[in-house]
Amino acid sequence: MKPSLGQLRAFVAVARELHFGRAAASLGVAQPTVSKEIRQLERTIGVPLFIRSTGGSRLSAAGEHLLPYAEQVVGAMGAFETAAGGARRVDRHSVCVAASPSVVNRLLPELLRFIDDADGDVTVVPLEVETGEVVEAVESGRADLGIGHLLGPAPGSVKQALGEDEIYLLAHRSWAGRGRGRGDLRKLGTLPLLLWPRERHPVYYDHLIDVCRERGLDPLVLTGTSRITGSWAYLLDDARAFSLVPEDYAVREVQGDLTAQRLDPPAFLPLEAVWSRAASPELEQVLQALFEVAAAKQAATRPPA
């Protein structure tokens, strides 16, 4: 019996989240379904992929070894599905929207809801990409429109600012304190900053380092995968590291002993959109919807003076 694509997707999701409930939510399925897929996969290959405990789950040695191969398979299928979606767009008046992890959990769903409520003839096809891949997705033709923070140069496309999102400190409450007050980075001392490798998104990386230094902290950086969650999330849960993330992303990740706090003084990330110069009528409709949704979001989250 060979592993199924569903089992590999469950394996990758749990490896990223190290939490079966969050993995299930990211896949849009029930938690028992994810647990069943992992058990069947472990029986198929004959080794445990996770070490489970009351404090959570972590990858076993075999899981660490096999994860890159599973990611390749899942990534290849994702690329195929994206290409298939592109083929469907010709007939269905669809617009593919690429979004980075910090945009996926709030702004993109709000855009999809807005489009659905408008009851028009445009279909939005979401494409979740890693930090730093939004512009490439648009300029390579994988997506018609991209949304993210500090997108960087886009020489072959049109780029426009949508506003700013406030940066939050995400850390164990033993470092950050209780509640949602102001976060003083200086009190973190030698606690390292958990961040993706600089080559993933140099502009964004340098901006966060500058935010730290401007507030009296020259951080030691721990670089993990392209996301701060997943395999490296235990560093936050165990008070071994902190992260700086947009407000929407921070609020979504707050659970257990983690807390999210605004910085003192506040800091912000530019929110931007990039799209093909040859905008179709369908893309123009989605852009207009995006501008309205982004403006409403900015008005609702604008910090007090």
Are 115 and 67 in contact, with CB atoms under 8 Å apart?
no
Asked if residue 84 belongs to a domain, the reply is no
d(CA 86, CA 79): 11
The angle at the Cα of 178, spanning 174 to 183, to the nearest 5 degrees, equals 85
Domain CATH code at residue 148: 3.40.190.10
Model pLDDT, residue 301: 65
Model pLDDT, residue 233: 73
Angstrom CA distances, 104 to 20, 41, 221, stand at 20, 28, 25
Name 302's Cβ contacts closer than 8 Å, sequence gap at least 6: none
Q: Where are the alpha helices (DSSP H) in the chain?
A: 5-17, 20-27, 31-45, 61-92, 101-104, 107-118, 134-139, 173-176, 202-214, 234-237, 247-253, 281-301
> Could you read off the pLDDT tens digit of each residue along the chain, which spans 305 residues?
688 888 999 999 899 888 888 888 777 778 888 888 899 899 889 999 998 877 678 899 999 999 999 999 988 887 777 666 555 545 457 899 999 887 887 888 999 999 888 877 788 889 888 878 899 889 888 899 999 999 888 888 999 999 999 999 988 888 865 444 577 898 888 999 998 888 878 888 999 999 999 999 999 998 765 555 556 678 888 889 998 988 887 777 677 788 888 998 999 999 999 998 888 889 999 999 999 999 988 787 655 44
**Same domain for 170 and 262:** yes
**Same domain for 236 and 176:** yes
- What are 206's two structure tokens? 């340098």
**Same domain for 205 and 143:** no
Q: Where are the alpha helices (DSSP H) in 93-161?
A: 101-104, 107-118, 134-139
Asked if residue 87 belongs to a domain, the reply is no
Range of the domain at 213: 165-268
| DSSP state at residue 242 | B
d(CA 184, CA 177): 10
Query: How many domains are contained in the chain?
Result: 3
Model pLDDT, residue 179: 43
Domain CATH code at residue 57: 1.10.10.10
**Same domain for 294 and 250:** no
Angstrom CA distances, 279 to 31, 41, 95, 173, 275, stand at 41, 44, 10, 47, 8
Asked if residue 139 belongs to a domain, the reply is yes
Are 38 and 7 in contact, with CB atoms under 8 Å apart?
yes
Asked if residue 86 belongs to a domain, the reply is no
Asked if residue 81 belongs to a domain, the reply is no
Stated pTM of the model:
0.66
